[in-house]
Amino acid sequence: MAECIFCKIAEGSIPSKKIYEDDMVLAFYDISPEAPVHFLVIPKKHISSVNEVDEENSKIIAHIFTVINKIVKELNIAEGGYRIVNNCGVDGGQTVNHMHFHVLGGRTLQWPPG
Ligand code: 5GP
Ligand code: ZN
């Protein structure tokens, strides 16, 4: 996707503060953090949102969660707790139309969201 900012981050043409990368996914710090720890995990292949998930491409989501599991331990937020967020569509507050999972931690988070 030529105009997708997260595709550009995945291919490296827009820089990011990377935490983890493999052939399928990239994890990087959010540019505008909402918690002491706030990073994003994206598939390198463009998937617009959870609305586009199917039996074939959903394997990436299981992989994303195993990557999150590894990173939260490395960043020492596993024990204290954290939140994984996926915003989908306009009402869900999605602003970048390349599926991504936010991971927020390092402070007590409020619930419910607004
Ligand atoms: P959404 O609102 O779509 O769920 O989340 C998009 C997130 O991407 C926001 O938290 C925003 O701060 C982050 N973001 C937008 N542009 C960039 C960027 O160029 N670099 C990084 N690292 N994060 C970005
Ligand atoms: Zn994209």
Q: Is the CB of 31 under 6 A from ligand 1?
A: yes
In a domain, 111, yes or no: no
Range of the domain at 31: 5-105
- What CATH code is carried by the domain that includes residue 88? 3.30.428.10
Please tell me the pTM assigned to this model.
0.98
> In the chain, how many domains are there?
1
In a domain, 113, yes or no: no
Ligand 1 nearest atom to the CA of residue 5, by list position: 19
In a domain, 110, yes or no: no
For 17-30, the pLDDT digits (tens) are 999 999 999 999 99
Q: Is 16 exposed, middle or buried (0-12, 13-18, 19+ CB in 10 A)?
A: buried
> Cα of 80 to ligand 2 centre, how many Å?
32
In a domain, 14, yes or no: yes
In a domain, 114, yes or no: no
- Nearest ligand to the CA atom of 94: 1
In a domain, 112, yes or no: no
pLDDT band per the 50, 70, 90 thresholds, residue 1: confident
- The CA distance from 39 to 33, in Å, is 8
In a domain, 82, yes or no: yes
For 85-107, the pLDDT digits (tens) are 999 999 999 999 999 999 999 99
